Structure 1
């Protein structure tokens, strides 16, 4: 199915070690927005990066845990994306972790489930 429309892309930049009630924050966010009926989300694990604290986090063979960068990308209509931002901010605040949240306009070319 081909669907052409405009929407919003919400990006959340957090750390791999960020936790919410003992669970990885990225998993909690994805589960919660799925419950809220959001069209889709993807979690991307970075190999190197830094944020507001200017501490570089990168993967090294000697490190068991490098608190690598995590980016959660969420796409849906502007109305739905704007409605979930307060919930995402609440989860981040309760986790005590730092975050960067960005929002941009996107053109959706195709949105359809796969055969599996």
Structure 2
């Protein structure tokens, strides 16, 4: 049996008697095996219709029913158009810090999301990598006993 990673089990409807839960629009199904990691490289000052681009991407990914999205803020960095290295250490250069939006889902769902991503952020650097998913520990499995140092 292939172990599964879950997507927001609380979002999935409970199956009725004699029926199986089938993921539909907005329902996050099990994610297992191989997946794609979509990474969008941004600067924190980028806007889309007066809203941060990273926030718009995360909200659209959620509405599309993708497995999950996270935003990571960099401490220091520069991009292809930067004249200086932006850093949190100097107040003058603390704007436009690097951001990464990371989304993991099936290849089909990631590919389907790309046009929507390009609408929000047409010029950002986007990478897509295949990833293997590590299943969670079986809750029924006994935990290993602690070793004692002798």
The TM-score by the shorter chain falls in which range? 0.7 to 0.9
6, 11, 14: which is aligned to 2:42? Answer: 14
Q: Which has the higher contact order (CA 8 A, sep 6+)?
A: 1
Stretches of structure 1 lacking an aligned partner (at least 5 in a row)? 112-116
Structure 2 unpaired stretches of 5+: 5-31, 137-150
Taking the aligned partners of 1:74 and 1:106, their CA distance within structure 2 comes to 11
Which of the two has greater helix per residue? Answer: 1
Structure 1 vs Structure 2 CA RMSD: 1.7
Establish whether residue 58 from structure 1 lines up as the match of residue 87 from structure 2: yes
TM-score, normalised via structure 1 length: 0.83
Query: In the alignment, what sits opposite 2:12?
Result: none
The structure carrying a bigger strand percent of its residues is 1
- Return the index of the structure with the highest Cα Rg: 2
Q: Which runs of 4+ in 1 moved over 4 A?
A: none
Q: How many residues align?
A: 106
